[in-house]
Structure formats: C-alpha cells, structure tokens
Amino acid sequence: MLKRYIVITFRNLQRQRLFTFINIAGLAVSMSVCLIVLISVRENLSYDNFHPAASRTWRITTHAQTPDGRKYHMASVPLPMGPALKSSYAAVENEATLYGVLNGEGKIDKKKINIHGAFATPSFFEVFGFKLAAGNPRTALVTPNSIVLTAETAQRFFGTTDPMGKVIRFDRFGSFIVSGVMEPAPSKSHIDFEAFAAMSSVPLLEESKVLPDKLNNWDVVQSSYTYVVLRKGEKVSALEAALKDQAHRYDGLVQKGQGSMAFEPQALGKITPSREMMDDIGSGPPWGKVLAEIGVALGLIICACFNYTNLSIVRSLQRAKEVGVRKVNGAQRWQIFLQFIVESVIMCILALTMAILLLMIMQATHFSGLPVPDNNLLDPRLLTLFFLFSITIGIVAGAIPAWALSSFQPAKVLKDLIDIKLFGGLGLRKSLIVIQFSLSLTAIIFLVTVYRQFHYKAIKDMGFYRKDILNVPLGDVDFQRMKERMMQLKEVETATASSGTLGMPRHCSFCVIRTGESKNRMEFGYYAGDADFIKTMHLKLLAGSTFPESASAEKEQYIIVNEKAVSVMGLKSPADAIGRTLFLSDSLPVSIIGVIKDFNYQPIEVNIRPMAIRFVPAEFHQLQLSMLKGNKEQQVADVKKIWTAMNPGETFPAEWMDEQLLSRNGREVVSMLGFLVFITTMIAALGLLGIVAYTSFTRRKEIGIRKVLGASATGLLMLLSKNYIKLILIAGCIALPLGYISSVFFLQIFAYRVSTGILAMLGSFLFLVFLALVTIFSQTWRAIEVNPVNSLRND
C-alpha cells in the first residue's frame, strides 16, 4: 500500500512540474536555513553533556548588589566558597574551583602564544568529564606549578613533539611544567580555558603579590568559579540551605547599607545557552540569540508550508475525482488522508535532499550570506535529525490539504466537479496569500531600515579620521622603538601607539575617576594613546595641548578629557579644566593637560559619555600608521618587512582601520538579513505564481467564452488580476504598520540613527506590488493568449 502511495506521488510530481518545482524549491531554500539553525541549536543544547554526574553538578552564582543599588547576577563566587562548602556540609560530595586569571603569553624557547587559562583544583578531573591523553588525572594538578594543556593548545605549542615534562614560562606567573594533555572533549563545554594550572600555585603567587589576595577573601567575586557535586539522593534544597548559610557572612554589609551578596545554584546543564550573567566564562550563545535563530527558521518554513497548503488546496479540484474513485472502491477516509500525508512527506524529503545539496554548495563556495556551519552534513546522526525534521514538516504542511481532500463525497465529485466546495472556500487561500505577503513585506521594510542604518553608520563622521590608517599590533616591541623604525618609511605620515581602535566595539576601556573637590566617582571610558594620538586621529583640541614628549612612561601624570567630561565636572569652559587634578582609581593624581571636542569613540549605538585619553605605555597594544595616499599593497609590504624583522617568526596581522570598522559594524548582519529577505520574497512570489497559474488554467473555459463574446485582452487582464491585487493591498495595510513598528524598535538600539523613512517603506511596498503584478500578469496573459477554439473544444 505504502509502495503504491509512493509510486502515485512520483507520477503526480512528474505531471505537475510547475507545482512540484514551486513546492520543492521553496521548501528546499527555507529548509536549508532551518538545517543551519538545527545544527546550531543542536550544538548549543549539547554543551556539557559528558560530565560524570551532570545531573548532580551545580555551579554557584552570585547575586551582588552594589552600595548604589545596582544589581548584578554573576557567574563567579568568592574563591574560598568551594572549600568552605565541601568541608562544612555533608550533602556536598565534591567541589571543583576554577580561577580564571592565568592569562598572558606563554613562552617555550622562542615560541610565544597567548594563553587564556585558569588555576584548577585537582578535583577538576573528578567533577568534569575531561579525559587526559597523557598524564595521570589524579596527580596532574596536585604539585604547584604543574599545568595541563588542552589538546589544541598542546598542538599549537609543540606540534607533534611530546609536551610532557616541558616547561612553559609566563612573564607574570613564572614557569610551569606540563603534567598532562587533555583529550579533545566529546562535545562543547562552557569551560573553554586553554590551560589548567595547579591551584596549589596560587598561595605563592599571592604571597609574592603577583595575584591579589583572594584565597581567603570573601569580598571579591570576580574570575573564580565553583562547581559542586551533591551526594546521590540529596536535593538542591540542601545546597540552597548551605548557600543561604554562607550568605550570612554578609549580614554586616546589609546592616551598614553597603549592598548585599547572595548565592544561587545553577544546574550544569543549564549554563549554556546562557542567561547573560556578568563575569561568565565560555562562548555559548545567550538564550535570546538561540530563540531568535529558531524564530527566523520557523518563519521561513511556515511560509514554505503555506505554499504547499495553498497549492494543494487549489489543486484539489484535480485530485477530487481520484478521491471519489478511491472511496467508491472501498477506501476509508483515513487511508486517503494517509495517502496525501505520504505525498507531502515525500515532497519534504525531496526538498531536504535539495537543501542538503544547497548547503554543500554553500560550504564549498564559502557563501557569505549565511553562517553556514562547516559540519559534515552526512554525519548519520545529523542526517537522522534532518530526516525527522522533514517528516514533521511534511505532516504539518500536508495535514490541512489531506484533511480537505479526504473529505470529498464521491457522489458529488463524480457527478460534476463544478459543485464542490473547497475546504474553507476561497477565504483560507486568500488569507494564506495575505499572511505570506505581509510577512515578506514586513521583512523587506525591516531590512531596508537596517540597511539604511548600517549604511549611515558606515559613512557617519564619528569625529575622527579613519582613512589610510594601518593598524599594526605591537607585540612585545617597545612602542617607541617600533614607531621610530616605522617613521623612517617615507609613506608614513604620522604614527601613534594606542590601546585600541576608536569606534570599535569593546576596544574602549573603563576606569573610575574622582575629582579633587568632590567625593563623586565617575566612570570614564578611556583609550591609551601617545603624544601623536590626537594628531593621527584628527581630533580637535579645544584647550591645552597633547602629552608632552617628556611625559614619564612609568608614572602617569597627565590626562586629556573630552568636553562631556568637562561639563560633568561642572566646569563652564574647556579652558577652566586645564591644570585641574583628577584621581584615577581613587588614588593616582593626574592633571588635565588638554580638552578635546566630543566625538563618537564608541560605536554609535551609544551616546557620547565622559572619556579620557591616557598616556599608559603598558596598555599600548597597536601602532596606528597614517599613510600617504599611494599604492596600498606596496605600503603594507613595506611595513610588513620592518615588522617581521622586529617580530621574527610571527604572522603579520595588520588591518586597515576603515575596513576593520566596516567589517565589525554589521556588514555580515546586512548580507545575512538580505539573504533571508530574498528567500521570503521568493517563496511568497513562487506561491503566488503557483496559485495564479492554476486558477488561470481552471478558468480557461470562462476566458474562452468571454473572448468569443468579444472581451478585450485588457479587460480580461483586469478581470483576472483584480482579486490578487486586492489581496496584495490588504497585505500592505497589515505589513506597513508592522514594518514601521519593528523598524522603530530596531532604531531604538542606536543613539544616532536615521529617520524611519516613510518613502523607503512605500518604495519597498511598491517594489513588492510590482513583483506581484509581474507574476500575475505573466500567468494571466498566457491564459488570455490561448485561442478560444482550443480551450473550448476540449470540453
């Protein structure tokens, strides 16, 4: 029976090429997006699934409230928390503490690699399911100054040679002996440190003041993470009680009104996707992003399903006779229903095959419109997942048409086909068209706004210069030395050392500044820059001067602030501020030497706030070279030659500032959104094409009669198109306000933004109307062109 269903499906698909093409193409394109999302969701939900007692493992998190009432939920806890829990509470079977401060350059001989590592207790390998490829998990983290590397880090440092027993040297933390190499984890984990050093190294480091005093300090929360395994049979409530008990340490704080601290357990399995906590580790996406991805995929697949439903219902006239005959031959309703479900499932599986092919093509061509994962798409487990997904889609898409078709009464459909009332009549089909077009129109309007905003962002004058500036990392080289060498190149006009690129997200640092008079502490954004920073970035000095050449590299003496800072300090004019003393981090006095005009040092999502330029050579990260106009490739090559001479054996990662800003400011987002909108529009247009094609076909007799009676071509065109145009207009009425509202919401993100652009919206609407008209006319015209003799003779 099933075989017969499949055979008849394929014969039907072959007969109805246009219908098949529209359905499969629409489904395949949207399914390929769904598959991408499916892969990413599966990945996001499979974090940390390999730990031995995952269901009994909890991370402790902190709810902290600052004296001024701001609340933070932090993923970290005070460092002594773990030991305290384990020693005092019977419910706690084991704990592991991670202290994520082992950051810096690790050196082996001449090789230097940045390491993002943590100190870990020996219980690390008991609590978590990480396995060692080399070394003993019980002893690897016991002796001070031993270190365990992840497989990837070991590979980066040592290549194929055996890392065991080798020494890695850190400038700050001293030398560590490799005591173990981990196996690659079976799945992703939120613990993404690249190296784990023995926690027993920390007391010495604290004694020598390399690390702040934290081992016995209950007041500092940052960077230390505690994981607890409960005994079998113990409930979370036991842990919660223990944490409540521990929080009593802070009763004094609360009484004095100096804020508060409380702790909360978080299940290991619930860490990723994350809840956006402060001070969290790992790169797992937040729930918001995961849900947004799912939303986009669902929207697309629903559009494609609508096409299927719509076309199937339209086509049901053709299938009605078959249903009637089958029923007369003894078919029950559920059997007919099943037949049509099988049909739509097969359609979906075909679409799936095409979608997988499409993804493979995207992978092969490095298509940039979508974040195509580089997974092996033919992995059996992934394929099973895809397969189940497409079967579900098939059932969902096929249910309504199958229900409608299986409801036909044989006596009626076999007698005369004209009488049949289609399920839901015209209403359902019409509303499906309206929904589809509303969706794609909303999407188009939204994208146009996004595009205009990003374009605006790209060309907006943020108050600094960005053209022809080459950013070169300093590495270990002293900034003065490299600057002098670079200045010898005749293409280099000016150069400045800086801590980051102006206008880049997260390149701005922050510090707390207090004025001499008031106790008022303010948060300042700052960039570290040298005396040429203002000149190179073309910033405008309103008063004072830049840093003097004689400024000390060791002791900070001077600071440059912006207008906003001046007004926040309550001063009337920039000139008043010159010479005033500010206290950095409450203690370090510096005097204001210059005031610059306000400019957007952060991306334009954010308003201009008080900011400063500080002369802190220790924080200099890169050299920014302002080049003369000329052959850019040659310039890069020249700079590269000098740079490689100073940093032997390293790759040269220079970047042009304008390109760097452009690429980090949403170019990908725009191209991705553009692609998605293209898909929704295409699906909607395909759906309309199918319906118009089919209805024109069924009305060919009427058209023939009208033509014989003397109707003109334009009259017929109007007659056939009128209904659809009405639907498109209704869709416009729904989508324009929706698009407007979503655009307004989107623009709220930006402090500096374009207007919502009524004209652009109407433009997108007209574009869609035009597209619809082309679709409708192409089909109706074909129906009208047919010689009435032909269409009438057949009947």
Partner 1 sequence: MIQLQKISRHYPVGFGKNYILKDIDLTINEGEFVSIMGPSGSGKSTLLHIMGLLEEPSEGQYLFEGERVDRMNEKKRTQLHRGSIGFVFQAYHLIDELTVYENIETPLLYKNIPASERKSRVADVLDRFNMVAKKDLFPNQLSGGQQQLVGIARAIVAEPRVILADEPTGNLHSDQAKVIMQLFKHLNEQDKITIVQVTHSDLNATYGNRIIQIRDGHIQS
CA–CA distance from 188 to each of 45, 102, 273, 278 (Å)? 9, 21, 12, 21
In terms of Cα–Cα distance, which of 485, 497, 475 is closest to 647? 475
Give 244 or 415: the residue with its C-beta nearer to partner 1.
415
Kindly state whether residue 15 participates in binding partner 1, applying the rule CB under 8 A.
yes
Q: Least CB distance from residue 409 to partner 1, whole Å? A: 8
**Residue 737, C-beta contacts closer than 8 angstroms, at least 6 positions apart:** none
Task: Output 115 or 345, the one with its CB closest to partner 1.
Answer: 345
**Burial (CB count within 10 angstroms: exposed 0-12, middle 13-18, buried 19+), residue 178:** buried
Of 231 and 321, nearer to partner 1 (C-beta) is 321
Candidates 5-13, 109-117, 134-142, 712-720: pick the segment binding partner 1 (CB under 8 A). Answer: 5-13
> What is the SS3 assignment for 76?
coil
Using CB under 8 A, which of 383, 414, 531, 654 touches partner 1? 414
- Of 80-88, 104-112, 154-162, 408-416: span binding partner 1 (CB under 8 A): 408-416
- Note whether 407 binds partner 1 by CB under 8 A: no
Q: Which stretch binds partner 1 (CB under 8 A): 20-28, 59-67, 353-361, 410-418?
A: 410-418
Binding flag, residue 697, partner 1 (CB under 8 A): no
Least Å from the CB of residue 790 to partner 1: 18
Write down the least CB distance from residue 11 to partner 1, Å. 4
- 340/656 with CB nearer partner 1: 340
Is residue 325 involved in binding partner 1 (CB under 8 A)? yes
Closer CB to partner 1, 411 or 758, in the complex: 411
Cβ at position 322, least distance to partner 1 in Å:
5
Q: Which residue has the tokens 């007004």?
A: 567
Cβ-contact 684, 498 below 8 angstroms: no
* Nearest distance in Å: CB 789, partner 1: 22
Neighbouring-strand partners of residue 224: 99
141 CB neighbour count, 10 Å cutoff: 26
Residue 180 CA to residue 35 CA, distance in Å, equals 38
- Shortest reach from residue 12's CB to partner 1, in Å: 6
The nearest distance, CB 6 to partner 1, in angstroms, is: 12
Shortest distance, CB of residue 13 to partner 1, whole angstroms?
A: 10
The rounded distance, in Å, linking the Cα atoms of 562 and 569 is: 11
Under the criterion CB under 8 A, does residue 328 sit at the interface with partner 1?
yes
Binder among 65, 335, 363, 509 for partner 1 (CB under 8 A)? 335
Helix (H) or strand (E) holding 765: helix 758-785
Q: Residues 100-139 vs partner 1: string with x where CB under 8 A?
A: ----------------------------------------
Q: Please say which residue, 174 or 410, places its beta carbon nearer to partner 1.
A: 410
Judged by CB under 8 A, which of 96, 331, 495, 683 binds partner 1?
Answer: 331
- DSSP SS3 for 7: helix
**Rounded Cα–Cα distance for residues 473 and 655 (Å):** 9
Of 6, 8, 91, 177, the one binding partner 1 (CB under 8 A) is 8
Taking CB under 8 A as the binding criterion, the range among 330-338, 483-491, 511-519, 556-564 that sits at the site for partner 1 is 330-338
The rounded distance, in Å, linking the Cα atoms of 785 and 643 is: 72
Q: Is 157 left (phi over 0), alpha (psi -120 to 50) or beta?
A: alpha
Tell me the closest approach of the beta carbon of residue 10 to partner 1, in angstroms: 9
Q: Which stretch binds partner 1 (CB under 8 A): 328-336, 454-462, 502-510, 542-550?
A: 328-336
Query: Quick one: which of 790, 591, 782, 787 has its CA closest to 693?
Result: 782
- AA identity, residue 383: L
Q: Which one among 12, 32, 438, 471 touches partner 1, defined by CB under 8 A?
A: 12
- The strands making up 622-627's β-sheet, listed across from edge to edge, are 492-498, 622-627, 469-473, 655-656
Total binding residues for partner 1 by CB under 8 A?
Answer: 25
Determine if 4 is a binding residue for partner 1 (CB under 8 A): yes
Is residue 704 at the binding interface for partner 1, with CB under 8 A as the rule?
A: no
Q: Which of 231, 270, 275, 333 binds partner 1 (CB under 8 A)?
A: 333
- Give the nearest distance from C-beta 190 to partner 1 in angstroms: 55
Query: Pick from 1, 364, 459, 618: which binds partner 1 (CB under 8 A)?
Result: 1
Q: Beta strands of 637-682 (E only): which ranges? A: 655-656
Measured CA to CA, the distance from residue 302 to residue 304 in angstroms comes to: 5
Q: How far is the CB of 697 from partner 1 (least distance, A)?
A: 16
Q: Is residue 418 close enough to count as binding partner 1 by CB under 8 A?
A: no
Question: Under the criterion CB under 8 A, does residue 324 sit at the interface with partner 1?
Answer: yes
| Max Cα–Cα distance, the chain, nearest Å | 103
Only one of the segments 332-340, 347-355, 390-398, 538-546 lies at the binding site for partner 1 (rule: CB under 8 A); that segment is 332-340
205/178 Cα distance (integer angstroms): 18
Task: Please state, as a whole number, how many other Cβ atoms lie within 10 Å of the Cβ of residue 333.
Answer: 14
C-beta of 319 vs 614, nearer to partner 1: 319
Among 172, 235, 415, 455, binds partner 1 (CB under 8 A): 415
Q: Is 88 exposed, middle or buried (0-12, 13-18, 19+ CB in 10 A)?
A: exposed
Give min distance, CB of 735 to partner 1, in A: 39
Nearest to 670 by CA among 405, 420, 452: 452
CB of 15 to partner 1, least distance (A): 7
Give Cα separations from 557 to 577, 582, 588 (angstroms). 15, 10, 9
- Report d(CA 573, CA 699) in Å as an integer: 79
Q: Is 332 in the site for partner 1 (CB under 8 A)?
A: yes
The verdict on 378 binding partner 1 (CB under 8 A) reads no
3-state SS class at 343 = helix
In 3-state terms the chain splits into helix, strand, coil percentages (rounded to 5) of: 50, 20, 30
Among 86, 190, 214, 326, binds partner 1 (CB under 8 A): 326
| Among candidate residues 613, 583, 606, the one with its CA nearest the CA of residue 512 | 583
Out of 208, 409, 634, 787, the residue judged to bind partner 1 by CB under 8 A: 409
Examine residue 733 and tell whether it contacts partner 1 (CB under 8 A). no
Closer Cβ to partner 1, 414 or 551, answer by number:
414
- Our finding on whether 321 is near partner 1 (CB under 8 A) is yes
For residue 764, the minimal CB distance to partner 1 (Å) is 43
To partner 1, the closest distance from the beta carbon of 321 in angstroms equals 7
Residues 6+ apart with CB under 8 A from 256: none
Beta bridge partners of 471: 624, 655
Residues in CB range of 322: below 8 A, 6 or more apart = none
Least gap, CB of 413 to partner 1 (angstroms): 10
Minimum CB distance to partner 1 smaller for 364 or for 418: 418
Cβ at position 30, least distance to partner 1 in Å: 28
| Rounded Cα distance, 172 and 102, in Å | 9
CB closer to partner 1 out of 7 and 708? 7
**Which one of the spans 267-275, 324-332, 378-386, 547-555 is the region binding partner 1 (CB under 8 A)?**
324-332
Q: Which residues contact 47 (CB under 8 A, 6 or more apart)?
A: 187, 188, 189, 190, 271, 272, 282, 284
Residues binding partner 1 (CB under 8 A): 1, 4, 7-8, 11-12, 15, 321-322, 324-333, 335, 409-411, 414-415
